[in-house]
Structure 1
Amino acid sequence: MIIVTATITAKPGKRNEIISKSNDLIKSTRLEPGCINYNLYASTENEDALVMVEQWENKEVLDTHMQTDHFKAFGVAIGDILAEDLGIDIYSAEKV
């Protein structure tokens, strides 16, 4: 299993718009084969910061997810309201 964190920083006052635009993405992604978990969380310290925490069976299903229409549409929908590029980190869920 792999874990992905996608840090999303909204322009000031745009966090709720990103949350709203994420609803279709989250709903559709949770139905994808290989998706174990897919949730959006709001920072308690920065009112413009969000993080998407994802769990996938493997890198191949994640790669497939990133080619879906709903994933691409979300990226387009929030492009103008991001304060900075998404921060994507991918981790192995195996114990070290």
Structure 2
Amino acid sequence: MMIVIHATIKAQPGKEDILLGHLRTLIAASNQEQGVLKYVVGEDITEGGTFHLMEEYKDQEALDWHIQSEHFQAIGAVLGDLLATPPEIKQYEIRGWRLLDV
């Protein structure tokens, strides 16, 4: 089963650019990991300083490896000083993606 994570994080006012710098480093390194299918971030257009991370992993083993990676641990060490609220993280197991007729 594929693992999908949606994380929402909100920067402290004035720390958005610092947070984005750390996210760029995390995303670049994460997208090089074996088993990471996609790791992207988007800025919320209705809530300033709020970012949505979408992560796709081949399986639970790939996610476990990512959580133990040096770059993930490094951003974890600085997030507390940069975030206005705790991250909201949702994890899903899916079979894959497909288009639905609507």
Q: Is the structural similarity TM-score above 0.5?
A: yes
Q: Distance in 2 between matches of 1:66 and 1:86?
A: 15
Partners of 1:49 and 1:25 in 2: CA distance: 17
User: Equivalents in 2 of 1:16, 1:44: separation in Å?
Assistant: 16
- Scaled by the length of structure 1, the TM-score of the pair is 0.91
Unpaired segments ≥5 residues, structure 1: none
Q: Which residue of 1 aligns with 2:9?
A: 8
Equivalent-residue separation in structure 1 for 2:5 and 2:21 (angstroms): 21
Runs of 4+ residues deviating >3 angstroms: none
Unaligned runs of 5+ in 2: 97-102
Q: Is the 8 A contact 1:15 1:48 kept in 2?
A: yes
Post-superposition Cα deviations, 1:53-89, rounded to whole Å, max 9, x if no partner, equal 0010011210110011100101112220111111111
What is the alpha-carbon distance in structure 1 between the residues aligned to residue 78 and residue 93 of structure 2?
29
Provide the rounded CA distance (Å) in 1 between the counterparts of 2:41 and 2:88.
14
Aligned length: 95
Equivalent position SS for 2:68 = coil
Query: Could you tell me which amino acid in structure 1 is paired with residue 76 of structure 2?
Result: G
Alpha carbon RMSD of aligned pairs, Å?
1.3
Alignment of 1:75-86 (within 5 A): 75-86=76-87
